[in-house]
Structure 1
């Protein structure tokens, strides 16, 4: 668990060197320091490493003292065992195996497990996403916006349930935000001499050929360095990106639920590490029956507070490679989001962050999804109340509370994999003419008529229209789908795409993001060549080529204008 959570290997952690007061690398470049030697939190971390290296008993190679306790604690959580039951089990094991490194009680075991640093805080939230019971509002009983109770109600409408013996039970909140503090997560990255080398990669491994392999090669990163020279002077300062998306954990069993994890990406790491799942930092988990939507700013408040603290004052952190304390700071660079819907018009004028911030000065938003009752007794939810003369803005983003956000050259990135999947799905559904999913439908044909173009594709009075040039016949579909179903690739290159092909009904289903990635960039240009006219296949091949180039490991900025054209 230590390896997975903190990337620490027993082969690379020299506990004695890390806890001594002698520098590990005398020849390394000295950096700004606060004081020598690790602090108490760091010492506790290395105590944890020792427990991870200590065998459960002499000669045991399968379990260490820590791994055995973590496994036992996992069983406790899954089986919902009480603390008393766990103490009794530990006492029995201690009595039966005298020479094993087993704590005397669950209290002692929990003190050891707590050192893993995987703690989180539970922050109560309004069920209508209006506010958090946090900070000054921590003691409130009802929402200050919609007056909804903070607690779950019993059948009698009483928030305090009574057990069988008349004993009061603890009140349960209606909605809870799980927040993982950011500072300890970032501090852990510098406590191993192996990982801290990767955290300085963006500065040490300079780029001299002008090609883009990492965000540090981008204009936005360089502009940030020029604007904030003091922050950029220490390469150990952390740069973060943010991404979030929702999913239904119950699959098809329940559609009335969603979970929204908020993920942070440390961009100090090299490109082969920063976008790996093991490098992601889980910041919070937003639970509820509905997605937060525009109200996500309510839940981002604890993260914004941590980011402001990490920018203004930083936090003392132990540098394992230099055996010294330093003041670590962090900056939030940009978000990663899906491609927004666009209308058929020219692109809007590009505005700087300061210009946008000026337009948003008088925008005030009341968050939440409050209920209102209409005349027909149906309950509907009100949208966010926006008080501003500037109606094209829905809100002022909470990120503008960060003192540097308005000066960032790039504030939002697009998720290429997400876009690629959407485009791939629409292309496949359209050329296969799948009912309900194709973009070539009667409404699209009516649009052509209103625009006065391609009269041969206009629908008649009955809404019927002739097939277009890119619509496959049944015989063409059979050739196209059979080609995809018979493709064989190397193990690990992609999932089994053949399982997504239904030859009987002539359709494709269940494609994952990586499946669409492989289809769009490798398989689709080959499989359409013999089934579609040249003027159609040439356009699709060019489209696939664009995705293949922008998804490459190395990008040449000189090619961007060509790709745009």
Structure 2
């Protein structure tokens, strides 16, 4: 196993494997150790976080000494205490660890043709590669090492469209060829409704339509829930009439008029899409692959109620976890909008979402919402809203999968706070003795005669 694989195994997969197998006190200290390395190896660090990590690793090693035999504590285990001070002096380890060096050494070993003289082969191959790279700088119109696209090239293709929309600027890039297809009435309604309700320029017209419904009501005033249902059903028909009103039509931007007319029945789909630093693939596309790029994560401000009998609609930021089923591109004549169709797990109840004592979130995809088989379902999101996660099957709980959050390879946080979902900071003190009563002597060892 490669060193980098061991690094990922300890930081990400080991806590998932042991969380329901070992006793709680053993699991807590091992997850604490894995969390220490995961946060220490983050791309961005702050002095306050490092001071907190320094205090935590001391207690973690004390707990390890209680659980493991003395032979486990070599000098390498002790050196973990000094890693925080090293990070303060040298900066984030992400920028100076050995993984890029090791990969480059593997590249140099590929130059060896004469095994009797490996150093000479590497020197000749290196000089030849540098000379070719230098000469390629004077050649135009071809791809070279200097102008090669990034590993996940999510810059939109400028030649794909003749104009740029002010409402939906192009974002991301499709991987592979598009396939044309005709939208069904239900798919067109679902996709167009989501685009309308998630467009900031349409928000004032939604509020205007709600005010119109309030004024139109006679007798019993409708509840907020009833108003929301009417908006979801009738706004798409009211909005074009409002935009095309001769009194205001001349002041409406062209892109908003294109949006009000709705998308063309002719759309395109693809099976892979690069956006937000990730390469997303549909579940069907990655069938048989060893990698998983179909997990989608979204935090959305959603109107919700406490129960079916509750008439007070509230805005709340809800977590949505899903699997990517389809990628479609709507054509609004003047611009295009890319949507992801996903199978969404029900994260509003304990039957579809739970978080254990170790801070890991689990999803049950046997409990899904918005499957798209009804017109009032919303299985679509804008591609620009999607973030990537991957799911690890829980071997002890059928149908449940543990969520692991990801960050793009080329994303660097400059002073922003660490996402607590990606780097959970759990308090495991409940599984240990109080620090004041912590015994540093193994009480289960027999006395020597």
Q: Which category of TM-score, normalised to the shorter sequence, fits these structures?
A: under 0.3
Greater fraction of residues in strand: 2
The TM-score normalised by the length of structure 1 is: 0.21
The TM-score normalised by the length of structure 2 is: 0.25
More RCO (CA 8 Å, sep 6+): 2
